[in-house]
Amino acid sequence: MKSYRDLIVWQKSVDMVTHVYRLVKLFPEDEKYGLTSQIKRSAISVSSNITEGYGRNYTKEYIRFLNISRGSLYEMQTQLQIAINLDFLKSNDLNDVNDLSLQIEKMLNALIKKLAI
C-alpha cells in the first residue's frame, strides 16, 4: 500500500460524504447551520481521521485516529436517525448511506483489531 488513498475504508468513507451532502440538501433551510452542519462535519471526520492517523507513522496513533473515525461514524448515524425522527428524511432515503456506513464500521473494526495485534 502506497497511500491512504489505497485503503478501501477511506475510499468508501469519501463516497459516504458525497451521499451525505446530497441527503442534507433535503433538509429545511432553517437547519442549514444546525443539524445539517453537524452531520456534514461528522461524515467528513470519518475519512479525515483515517487519513490523519495513517500519516502519523506510529501504530498507536493510527489506532487512536481510527477510533476517533469510528466515533464520528456513530455520531453521524445518530444524527441521521434524529433527522428521520424530525421528518427531515425518510428511512429509505438513507439506504445508500446506511449500507456504506455499516461497511465502513466493519472495516474500521477489522483494521483496528488487526493493527492492535
d(CA 101, CA 83): 16
Please spell the DSSP secondary structure of 39-89, one letter per residue. HHHHHHHHHHHHHHHHHT--HHHHHHHHHHHHHHHHHHHHHHHHHHHTTSS
Given this model, what pLDDT does residue 57 score? Answer: 85
Tally of domains in the chain: 1
Does residue 40 contact residue 24 with C-beta atoms inside 8 Å? yes
pTM (2 decimals)?
0.94
**Which residue range is the domain that position 86 belongs to?**
4-116
* Residue 18 pLDDT grade (very low, low, confident, very high; cuts 50, 70, 90): very high
Query: Which CATH number do you get for residue 38?
Result: 1.20.1440.60
* Residue 117 pLDDT grade (very low, low, confident, very high; cuts 50, 70, 90): confident
pLDDT at 1 over 80: no
